A and B are shown apart, each in its own frame.
Chain A
Amino acid sequence: MTAFTVEIRVMPRASLLDPQGQAVQHALQALGFREVGSVRAGKHLVVEVRAASREEAAARARTMCDRLLANPVTEDYDVAVETA
């Protein structure tokens, strides 16, 4: 078993309104960052996982997303595995 650090990014689905991202976008523009286009806000989770391989760590992390970490109705996720 090897220890892996899995970085999980959970984002509101692109087709849905993201009021938090919009609020940040407006705040950045109000501060004078005129180059800012759209902003979307999501979650970043860092999970320590023990697994036999990088692939297994990623597969387990995806299962965690499907069961708990992301809502399949409203969110998309992606998973990146680093060796701890």
Chain B
Amino acid sequence: MRRVAIVVFPGSNCDADTLDAARAAGSDAYYVWYRDTTLQQADAVILPGGFSYGDYLRSGAIARFSPVLQAVAAHAQAGGAVLGICNGFQILCEAGLLPGALMRNARLKFLSRPVRVRVEATDTPFTRTYERGDELTLPIAHGDGRYVADPQTAALLEAHGHVVWRYVGDNPNGSMHDIAGVCNAGRNVVGIMPHPERRNARVLGGEDGARVFLSLEARNATQHAGDMRAVDGRHLRV
């Protein structure tokens, strides 16, 4: 059982769904408040969706300076698993923990509907129980989901397999290279615009997102997490 910290910002609104999804996958999931400075011995951290700080200035721009982000950055730098979903993805980009940025949807509208995405990388802590090429139906709910990066960064993402999910068929927001999710060079920090936590049970219309959370509990889940655990700001090998 992995300890999974769900960070709650003022304006988060997918925190409860994310907590439920992690618990349904068997994790010991709990909330961490944005003012907290410790992740309480987390194995993995998830920044959930929502509208932290009302999306003022830019989505995620203010949340990235929250006290808890220092602990998240230290966890990430030590190789710990970090997932940002939707607004969490925006925050990770603003914090520089993931490359690129998320801009206003190309057709301006806020989009809330299911989309198709393809799993492009399975060597991350959140996709290891998928098969490369799996196509999933996941809901999106965002106004600022157009992924952009400078051409050099985009070329590196492709060359090193840092694109984790890609929209298939229909690119809803104009993201470059149809990118729906990426990881960092260490492959331990992952961001995704669609909401896997909203599609983890049949009653929600499908289970395509469940394996994002089940991946954390997979037998080999610590391989890429580097067997690190954050304890009061220090990082211990476990």
Contacts from A to B (Cβ < 8 Å): 12, 16-17, 19-20, 23, 68-69, 71, 73-74
Chain B residue with Cβ nearest A70 = B58
Cα(A18)–Cα(B70), bound, Å: 32
B106: chain A residues within 8 A (beta carbon): 17, 19
Tally of A-B Cβ pairs under 8 angstroms: 34
* Residues of chain B at interface, number, CB under 8 A: 20
Bound Cα distance A23, B100 (Å): 24
Q: Which residues of A contact B107 (CB under 8 A)?
A: 19
B residues within 8 Å of A by Cβ? Answer: 57-58, 61-62, 65, 93-94, 100-101, 103-108, 146, 148-150, 174
Given A17-B174, A19-B108, A20-B108, answer yes or no on A74-B57 (Cβ-Cβ < 8 Å). Answer: no
A73 touches B105 (CB 8 A): no
18 further contact pairs, Cβ within 8 A, besides A19-B107, A68-B57: A12-B103, A16-B103, A16-B148, A17-B103, A17-B146, A17-B174, A19-B104, A19-B105, A20-B104, A20-B108, A23-B108, A68-B61, A68-B62, A71-B58, A71-B61, A71-B101, A74-B101, A74-B148
The secondary structure that dominates the A interface is: mixed
* A19 CA / B144 CA spacing, docked (Å): 11
A68-B146 Cα distance, complex, nearest whole Å = 20
Can you sample 14 A-B contacts with CB below 8 Å? A16-B103, A17-B106, A17-B146, A19-B104, A19-B105, A19-B174, A68-B57, A69-B57, A71-B58, A71-B101, A73-B100, A73-B148, A73-B150, A74-B103
